[in-house]
Amino acid sequence: MSNLMTGGQMRTHEQAVIGGGSVTGLALMQRAGQGVFDAISQAFPELSDACGRRALILCGPGNNGGDGFVVAHLLAAAGWAVDVALLGEAGHLPPDAAANHARWVGTGAKRRDVLSLDQVVPLIAAQGAPDLVVDAVFGTGLRRGLSADVVEALRVSIEAARHSVAVDILSGLCADSGKWLGQAADLTVDLTVTFHTAKPGHYLAAGGRATRRLVIVDIGLPVQSARIEDAELIDAPAYSGEVARKDPASHKYGSGHALVLSGGPGRTGAARLAARAALRIGAGLVTIAVPPGAQQEVACQITAIMLTRVADSEALGVVLEDKRYSALCLGPGLGVGERTRSLVSEALSAGRSVVLDADALTSFADDPMSLFEQVRGADVVLTPHGGEFARLFPDLAEQLRAVAETGPAVSKIDVVRAAAARAGCTVLLKGADTVIAAPDGRVRVHAACRERAAPWLATAGAGDVLAGFVTGLMARGLEPLEAASHATWLHVECARAFGPGLIAEDLPEALPGVLKALL
Ligand SMILES: NC(=O)C1=CN([C@@H]2O[C@H](COP(=O)(O)OP(=O)(O)OC[C@H]3O[C@@H](n4cnc5c(N)ncnc54)[C@H](O)[C@@H]3O)[C@@H](O)[C@H]2O)[C@@H](O)CC1
Ligand SMILES: [K+]
């Protein structure tokens, strides 16, 4: 896993390193620009012959613009014809950006023009499409939405150019939240080159769709080890390798026994999906707890999975006298209401690992605090989708949904971390960008975007399978944050392995192949 540093964390880190005297801001800017130039050469080998190539560099009023001037200089030195446009007054640039502006403009007979940003659209109309456009208008310093003329210059350049590159992050996107500040510009570039670590905004919300490739350049800043306030990105290529391995000497009870509670007749499918997922991911035994009326329906559709009758919370209490049940899953297809609330309370009072999903969450919509009082401090994972999250944490959901006028904007990381602290247990908020937070403040992000895109996962029942994966891993003894993180990675990996045509039933069946590939 790697850290995702916010704009503020980057600034603090950079200033501490510069303050320590080991490097200057100007040197960091040179390394950043060089990193962008090198990444362009690597990503687009077809541009290696600079002869006749034209680049357009759009620079902004801060240090992101300073990086742009460095890139302009390097491209020109490599033989490109380069046009540079600046938003704002050169005289207002911060010192390092001003130095690189001055170097670009040159002196005397070698003086070059710098266009203003409003000359960009006419330039493209007159000259035709450039081979390359570089967006260095705003980076981590973006504080409000882009003005209409900046959006227009960016849109026309990006759409016209054969290759488009954003320096640090596509201008207009908040680096901390991945949201567009103000009006959504909905642009996409071919490549984004960022520095030191990726930023949350490269993965969350619109940020996951705003670039087709992301390259992280080492600019020589020391790597900090993960601190509790850092969000970690689940990005290792074989992330769940440890989950794929099982102790050769283990017997079935050594891998735990998961109990999945089912809804009534005609509503048992979700629990069966979760149960099969729990078994596939390695729980030694899995039992479905069915209300008596649904016994026949479930019995004729299971084989390795076992069945026990549970009419009500009292019956659940009796079943849980068997201490070998190590993890419980409540929610998929369970029904919303008092019966589910009492089953949840019974499950939580039994002191096992518990996953609460779907109806088990919605059943507490009228009084979320009564749920939080019961889960606080226990090995519990809540796995809401956006709608269920909004029922339990309406104020946080509203903060996340609100249009962000100023930056840095409230991010999915911020709200899921706040939700986990409030509930006192691990919270996994599903989506193309999944954020998992533990009550102690640790946060993991997994984004099914770019090379990990899994659009087929948006299918009925996929969430039930995810709940089953988390349950199976907790039955095996993983702590809540680890179980939720591995389940999320494997869930996407299964969808990617199966590909188009995926339905939820395919996910547990794809898992053996995925696990085998990890060994
Ligand atoms: N922090 C670091 O470690 C490094 C930062 N570098 C570069 O520096 C960038 C950050 O520089 P800055 O902090 O100067 O920030 P930016 O260059 O992103 O922009 C800040 C400037 O834009 C103005 N501004 C913000 N939003 C605006 C809007 N919507 N309309 C008009 N003006 C707006 C601000 O008032 C400020 O003048 C990074 O993204 C990166 O490209 C690199 O040079 C290397 C190292
Ligand atoms: K940018």
In this prediction the ipTM stands at 0.98
Ligand 2 centre to CA of 134 (Å) is 8
Which atom, in ligand 1's list, is nearest to the CA of 92?
37
Looking at residue 323, its pLDDT comes to: 96
- Give residue 250's pLDDT: 74
Distance between CA 249 and CA 200 in Å, rounded?
Answer: 41
Q: Which helix (H) or strand (E) segment is 404 a member of?
A: none
End-to-end CA distance of the chain: 19
pLDDT tens string for the chain (519 positions)?
A: 999 999 999 999 999 999 999 999 999 999 999 999 999 999 999 999 999 999 999 999 999 999 999 999 999 999 999 999 999 999 999 999 999 999 999 988 889 999 999 999 999 999 999 999 999 999 999 999 999 999 999 999 999 999 999 999 999 999 999 999 999 999 999 999 999 999 999 999 999 999 999 999 999 999 988 788 899 999 998 999 999 998 777 777 789 999 999 999 999 999 999 999 999 999 999 999 999 999 999 999 999 999 999 999 999 999 999 999 999 999 999 999 999 999 999 999 999 999 999 999 999 999 999 999 999 999 999 999 999 999 999 999 999 999 999 999 999 999 999 999 999 999 999 999 999 999 999 999 999 999 999 999 999 999 999 999 999 999 999 999 999 999 999 999 999 999 999 999 999 999 999 999 999
Neighbours of 68 (CB within 10 A): 29
Mutate to test the pocket of ligand 1, among 63, 67, 150, 199 (most ligand atoms within 8 A of CB): 63
Q: Is 69 in the pocket of ligand 1 (CB under 6 A)?
A: no
**At residue 436, what are phi and psi to the nearest 5 degrees?**
-120, 130
Question: How many of the other CB atoms lie within 10 Å of CB of 368?
Answer: 17
The answer to whether the beta carbons of residues 290 and 309 sit under 8 Å apart is yes
What pLDDT does 225 receive? Answer: 82
Q: Are 439 and 379 in contact (CB under 8 A)?
A: no
Buried b (16+ CB within 10 A) or exposed e, 271-302: bbbbbbbbbbbbbbbbbbbbbeebbebbeeeb
pLDDT of 251: 75
Would the CB of 168 count as within 6 Å of ligand 1?
yes
| Residue 176 Cβ contacting ligand 1 at under 6 Å | no
Q: Name the phi and psi angles at 357, rounded to 5.
A: -135, 170
Q: Which CATH architecture has domain 2-232?
A: 3-Layer(aba) Sandwich (3.40)
Helices (H) and strands (E) in the chain, counts: 19, 18
- Residue 100 marked in a binding site: no
Identical fold between 2-232 and 252-518: no
The answer to whether the CB of 27 is under 6 A from ligand 1 is no
**What atom in ligand 1 is closest to the CA of residue 66?**
43
Superfamily name and number for 252-518: Ribokinase (3.40.1190.20)
Ligand 1, atom 36, lies closest to the CA of 62
- Closest ligand, as measured to the CA of 57: 2
What ranges do the domains of the chain cover? 2-232, 252-518
430 is in an annotated binding site: yes
Q: State how far Cα 462 lies from the chain centre.
A: 18
Ligand 1 atom with the shortest distance to the CA of 143 = 26
Cβ–ligand 1 distance for 146 under 6 Å, the answer yes
Block residue for tokens 């200033």: 15
Cβ neighbours of residue 331 under 8 Å, at least 6 residues apart? 340, 355, 356, 357, 358, 359, 360, 361, 383, 467
In 3-state terms, what secondary structure has residue 381? Answer: strand
**94 CA distance to ligand 2 middle (Å):** 16
Q: Determine the residue type at 197.
A: T
Task: Looking at the CA of residue 94, tell me the nearest atom of ligand 1.
Answer: 14
List C-alpha distances in Å: 258 to 247, 352, 354, 356: 19, 10, 10, 13
8 Å CB contact between 355 and 471: yes
pTM, two decimal places: 0.97
Which ligand 1 atom lies nearest to the CA of residue 14?
A: 3
Name the residue among 293, 349, 286, 284 with its Cα closest to residue 316: 349
Q: Are 444 and 1 in contact (CB under 8 A)?
A: yes
Q: How many C-beta atoms lie closer than 10 Å to residue 242's C-beta?
A: 11
Question: Would you state the structure tokens that stand for residue 381, as one six-digit string?
Answer: 């994972």
State the alpha helices, DSSP H only, in 110-180: 120-127, 148-160
Cis amide linkage into residue 95, ω under 30° from 0: no
